[in-house]
Amino acid sequence: MAAERTLKSRPLERMDDLVSLCARRGIVFASSEIYGGINGFWDYGPLGVEFKNNLKAAWWQAVVRERDDVEGIDSSIICHPRTWEASGHVEHFSDPMVDCRACKKRFRADQLADAGPCPAREGTSEHDLTEPRRFNLMLQTRIGASEDAAALAYLRAETCQPIFNDFRRVREVSRQQIPFGIAQIGKAFRNEINPRNFTFRSREFEQAELEFFCREGERDRWFEHWLDERLRFHRALGLGPEHLRTRPHAPEELAHYCKRAVDVEFRFPFGWQEIEGIHDRGTWDLARHSEYSGKDLGVTDPETKEHYLPTVIETSVGVDRTCLAVLCAAWAEEELEGGETRTVLRLVPALAPIKAAVLPLSKKLGEPAGRLERELRRRWNTFYDDSGNIGKRYRRQDEAGTPFCITWDFDSEADGQVTVRERDSMQQERIPAAAVGEWLAARLGPAA
């Protein structure tokens, strides 16, 4: 098949286009779909889980493995309930909520602009709203057989609090000195009043957080360092300058313990929204956990012998939100020469769920093509597809974000060559079948 050419490319403008691609290809779709779904909960399918794992691996590589001053952990989701008293979540982690007396819908009082008209009132489309009430966002559960208050526990509302719980032990076992950081990736739960915009605001989601402990006098330097690092990371995921900006918080927006905060925002089809926050949390968390646990979480300077509480710089990114941002930036609908259109996910190869697809031109060529695919599979996540015409098979890989296709045709056996096709340019090239591994390694890295 001759190489195709793009005449026009359209970026994502309506979330529905992405939502339907994600459902159709099983990337992300409603949880418990057979029961009608459950609001604020999402499942990642075969392609989605590979994509999300790649994104988490990229974060872990950049924040933990490539550094000798960051340690990783994987804490439990349910912590001692005192954790959430110390952190202030039991008392303060709430949103203002209002109800409409007519249509019974519930809204966040600070997001009424998005409420839309009331479907239940005559003569007016305005909602009949109650006074705002505070609504705590932490999801509760009970532990053990007892129903009493002592058994009450919370699903963690953020992944960072267990990092403070573990600070002392991790520092001891890793023999780290200040400055150093502790990082983890994991689930967080928030009983959001209005989950919406696909996975953007969910009730169960994943966070990747770093708490970096430093001396007070070095807080600004480390803040700048991590802000730069995190922006570099997002750019490497394919989020270009037209999609990315930073927004410093105004003093009145800051949590009382927070000295400085900058949001990393992405331009979604529904507007600029936060995907990550960089925060200077001061000594608040370690001071509170010291107070509530009765354990001294201070450190002693090895030279001056001064005992002090380290200052914390936090980077907190939503894994699902970043996945969504990457998908939004990668999606394109293209008009091709000859009148056809294709949907393509221009994912950077490191994030692509499938790195290469092997496509025999005919089922009769299955034996040698299968052999090649099995060989590549040892190094990368590959895919074998022998059904449908070759054009359709290319389209299926384009919308799955597969960067490379390898076609085994009727000449391959005789001349030992295959056709490799690149997703974005659709350029094709004939190379020796024996050199495919090397050709891919030059574009994908030695293995993934």
- Quote the least distance from Cβ 209 to ligand ATP, whole Å: 8
C-beta of 91 vs 126, nearer to ligand ATP: 91
- Quote the least distance from Cβ 188 to ligand ATP, whole Å: 7
CA distance between the termini of the chain: 29
CB atoms within 10 A of CB 381: 17
- Quote the least distance from Cβ 251 to ligand ATP, whole Å: 16
- Quote the least distance from Cβ 318 to ligand ATP, whole Å: 2
- Quote the least distance from Cβ 78 to ligand ATP, whole Å: 19
C-beta of 157 vs 440, nearer to ligand ATP: 157
- Quote the least distance from Cβ 11 to ligand ATP, whole Å: 22
C-beta of 251 vs 302, nearer to ligand ATP: 251
The residue of the chain with the least Cβ separation from ligand ATP equals 318
C-beta of 277 vs 349, nearer to ligand ATP: 277
User: Does an H or E element contain 166, and which?
Assistant: helix 161-174
Q: How many CA atoms lie within 13 A of 275 on its CB side?
A: 26
Cα separation, 225 vs 210, whole angstroms: 13
Cα separation, 140 vs 239, whole angstroms: 36
C-beta of 196 vs 379, nearer to ligand ATP: 196
C-beta of 52 vs 190, nearer to ligand ATP: 190
Q: How many CA atoms lie within 13 A of 119 on its CB side?
A: 3
Question: Is-contact 156 189, C-beta < 8 A?
Answer: yes
Cα separation, 50 vs 53, whole angstroms: 5
CB atoms within 10 A of CB 414: 7
Closest among 154, 170, 199, 161 to 321, alpha carbons compared? 199
Closest among 347, 299, 303 to 325, alpha carbons compared? 347
> In the complex, which residues of this chain contact ligand ATP (CB under 6 A)?
158, 190, 192, 201-202, 205, 207, 274-277, 316-318, 320-321
Cα separation, 222 vs 212, whole angstroms: 8
Cα separation, 289 vs 284, whole angstroms: 9
C-beta of 109 vs 431, nearer to ligand ATP: 109
- Quote the least distance from Cβ 298 to ligand ATP, whole Å: 26
